Chain A
Amino acid sequence: MTVHLSRTLWRLADVVEVVPETPRTKSLVLEVPGWEGHKAGQHVDVRLTAEDGYQAQRSYSIASAPEDERLVLTVDRLDDGEVSPYLTEVLMVGDKLEFRGPIGGYFTWEAREGGPLLLIGGGSGVVPLMAMLRHRAAVGSDVPTRLLSSSRSYEDIIYRRELENLAARDGSLEVIHTLTRSQPASWSGYQRRIDAEMLAEVAWSPEERPLAFVCGPTPLVEAVGAALVGLGHAAARVKTERFGATGG
């Protein structure tokens, strides 16, 4: 008889590695005894408890592929946050982290669902999309895929090197960046917030029926979602995940 831990029960993970990704972002590599796996796009709820019982809880998208051995979360440190400063500045290797999950059945992608795949992320919205890209690479899928990633600056691009490497060795994957606040002198790419004009250039035509996943701060997600539908894409082929006002 197999016993499955309910994904709604709180359990503990071991922090085995902390990886700086950008000046404000870190990836937490977790070892979870008995982890049953997840789908790319899902998230976990993380809960912190202080000595006096005070608790704070937030959701974080899973960054790792289902094929990876360890569970990885990528956390953006919000200046006025309560949980993210703890996760990025206090938590260290050897600590335990309480969480539940994986959670979510709507914003997920498996390679067998096909494409073309259009991934649009703002800031830490790129995290669940990265899980999808890592899964795609792990299973050797050649589903035509484009990632449009919006970041404040070159230094703030999460997973920049890994994305370069993935795209370099895979002709069916394209990564397009837009830098909204500051750009390096040699930058020839987009340098503004994602808008309908940019989407018209980057997205496939509606006739090719791409599957779109849009993730990031709520204003970005709603603007991009509306723009895609305005360009003729079927609303049912555009899936969204909003991170609230400022991000994950």
Chain B
Amino acid sequence: MRKGFISRGFEGRRRGQDTKLPPGQYLEDGFPVLSAGPAPRTPLEAWDFSIVGEVDEPKRWTWEEFKRLPSEEITRDIHCVTKWSKLGTRWEGVSVDTLLEEVETAAEYVTAFCDGDYTTNLPLEDVTGGKAWVVYAYEGEPLEPIHGGPARLLVPHLYFWKSAKWVRGLRLTADDIPGFWESLGYHNYGDPWREQRYWGD
């Protein structure tokens, strides 16, 4: 990296040397809010979650139905591509495995779609096998709108932009379709441990 101007005495945010963190990350006390658009305001009576696309039969749950699905508590580390990490974050929600039970598909990819225009794409095998959830509570409280409430996707093994806020469903697709950030130069897969931040990494 070309060495340019250095601002005397500038250190930036505190960055930890914790070996549990993926390369290039630092430990964050707060929970930064990054938003690419206005906060969606879907009332719970109008909210639903769907599984659509390359499936034999689409599935759909209202909020009431969704809350009655078997849920679990999940504690995981999360890593944002903007370099902050939070360890041991606690969530509650429904495993994507539960949502995909009895779904017949030949699709290999999913696109998570959300209120607003946000989407993100993942291989189907990265949201199954106990790796992904649709969560509606954080640290024991209902998920706040600024953090993606009423429900967001949680895929902790990938950079946090894949954990789509205000998620409303999963579309199963035969092809991999780059989502909101993936089509703007961000890595298509996003493994923090291989530091896959950008396209070409």
Contact = CB atoms under 8 A, between A and B. Distances in A.
* A contacting B, Cβ–Cβ less than 8 Å: yes
Nearest to B3: A53
Interface in A88-104: 90-91, 95-98
Interface residues on A, range: 10 to 19
A187 interface: no
Nearest to B2: A53
A49 B10 contact: yes
A159 interface: no
B12 A54 contact: yes
Interface in A1-36: 10, 12
A48 interface: yes
B15 to A, nearest CB: 8
Interface residues on B, range: 10 to 19
A56 interface: yes
B24 to A, nearest CB: 10
A86 B1 contact: no
Contacts, number: 37
B6 interface: yes
A51 B6 contact: yes
Q: Is the interface of B mostly helix, strand, loop or mixed?
A: loop
A96 B10 CA distance: 12
A90 B5 contact: no
Contact of A12 (B5, B8, B11): B5
B37 to A, nearest CB: 14
A95 B8 CA distance: 7
Contacts of B12: 48, 50, 54, 56, 82
A82 B1 CA distance: 23
A53 B10 contact: no
B68 interface: no
Contacts of B8: 90, 95
Given A82-B12, A82-B13, A53 B7 contact: no
6 contacts: A10-B5, A49-B5, A49-B7, A49-B10, A90-B8, A95-B8
